Amino acid sequence: MSNNHISSTEFASLCQSQINLLSQSLGAVWSVIYLTEEMSEDVQTQLFPFAIYPPTSNQSFLKLPPTKLSEIWQALQSHSTAQLLPNNSAIKMETRAAEFTWNLKPTETQQIILPLIHQDTFIGLLVTGRDDREWLQSELQQIEEIARTIAIARFIELQYHWTQDELNAQENLRRIEHDRLDNLLHQLRNPLTALRTFGKLLLKRLLSDDPNSELARSILAQSDRFQALLEQFETESNQLANFNSQVAPENNSFALLSTKTNHKVDRSSFLLPSFATELTSVDLTQILTPLINTAIAIATEREIELINHIPKTIPEVRADASALREILNNLIDNALKYTLSGGKILLELEMTKPAMLGIAIKDTGCGIPLADQARIFERHYRGRQTQSNIPGTGLGLAIAQELATKMQGKIELISPNNLSEHSLGTTFIIWIPLASHN
């Protein structure tokens, strides 16, 4: 049985009350409510009888065979000529009801057929009749109101079933996605463990003054960060799964909608620093050193000149260390991504704003067009870069801006920066409050 056959007791009660109204107030001697298998504007759609008055003694109306709408129209029209009512919303016919009420008392009736329509969607039919007098215009208007009530109620009920099916489908997809992510995490753990082990062994075999020792430490630091991200991903993914299971009982899909609406879950911050603790004094040197070492290695491999003018001693800032690391990593990665071979990247300290410290990342890349600059910090917005072969998701700058704002900081964009006479270039400056001014 399809979901459209499933009806709530409330809807069944409503239909019964409307049929009783037809009988007791308007004198209808019989009435039938047909419902469609699916919402459709096609008159050939399948219909099934849902409610009938008076009930037959030999079989329940729920067990009656489905009837096609076209067959009803053709059979009724074969007995009489259709006459449109004044408002063109119903069809009045003089015919025998016996053939359409499954052997009820065969008497001459004034039969009315009203389509159940809501929001231009055909939902079913209301067929009713009486045998003692013709219908008055006021009575016809009451019948139309009854049909409208039934149509609206059924439309809402079908929307509920649709929503329930959609939520169930989404939940199944979420479970599949979660299983795939679990598989991915499992597959990543072994090579990550090997990478960390190789880094430790390499570091042990190098002398402290070996220039490659710093590179080995950077490899180990990046593998540690990778492991921390995997652990954080697994933790937050499980928390989200538990949240979904708590707010979405399987027997009440609407609870999923209402409860999730009331519980605001910021899924855009997934895997990003949560700022659960207060901002503290942060030593920028400890954050910048591994990032710069990694950037130098990447720049060398890509034949890009990376110039580091940041002094070894930097005033402390008031920030979240994890968030600041994420911001600087995104900005440096952007510079490496959009600077061509033979170009250069310059890292400098800025102290031109009161009570703020700035880290400037300048490059000789293609620059950012003025038309794109107003939206460059929007999630998934890449502007002109969507036409290039440079991979990206348009998330790096959006994440960096979001994290900077949470730390009372700001990211400044300058493009072109005229760092090189042969290119436009882009400069990003991350401004963070100085710890000494708090």
Instruction: Judge whether 121 and 18 are in contact, CB under 8 Å.
Output: no
Q: CA quadruple 112, 118, 120, 123: dihedral positive or negative?
A: negative
Give the tokens for residue 81.
Answer: 């000529």
The stretches of 101-211 forming alpha helices (DSSP H) are 137-205
Q: How many CB atoms are closer than 10 A to CB 257?
A: 14
What local confidence, expressed as pLDDT, does residue 18 receive?
93
Res. 38 pLDDT band, cuts 50 70 90: low
Per-residue pLDDT, 272: 56
Q: How much is the average pLDDT of 2-26? A: 82
- Cα four-point dihedral sign 200, 201, 204, 205: negative
What CATH topology corresponds to 3-161? Beta-Lactamase (3.30.450)
- Is the entire prediction scored with pTM above 0.85? no
Higher-pLDDT residue of 121, 295: 295
Radius of gyration of the chain (CA): 36
pLDDT of residue 273: 60
Percentage of the chain modeled with pLDDT above 90: 26
More confident residue, 346 or 196: 346
Q: Model confidence over 269-283: pLDDT tens digits? A: 554 565 555 788 999
Q: What is the DSSP letter of 416?
A: S
| Top-confidence range, 43-57, 89-103, 372-386 | 372-386
Residue 99 pLDDT: 36
For 276-438, CATH gives: 3.30.565.10
CA distances from 426 to 82, 334, 403 (A): 76, 10, 21
What does the pLDDT average to over 282-310? 91
Element (H, E) at 298: helix 284-301
As a whole number of Å, the end-to-end CA separation of the chain is 68
Higher per-residue confidence, 72 vs 216: 216
- Contact residues for 39 (Cβ-Cβ < 8 A; gap 6+): 121, 122, 123, 155, 158
Task: Please tell me the distance from the alpha carbon of residue 137 to that of residue 275, in angstroms, as a whole number.
Answer: 69
Residue 219 has pLDDT above 50, yes or no: yes
With tokens 């009820």, the residue in question is 104
Least confident span in 95-99, 109-113, 261-265: 95-99
Task: Please choose, from the candidates 81, 111, 91, the residue with its C-alpha nearest in 3D space to the C-alpha of residue 99.
Answer: 111
Domain extent listing, the chain? 3-161, 276-438
The answer to whether domain 3-161 and domain 276-438 are alike in fold is no
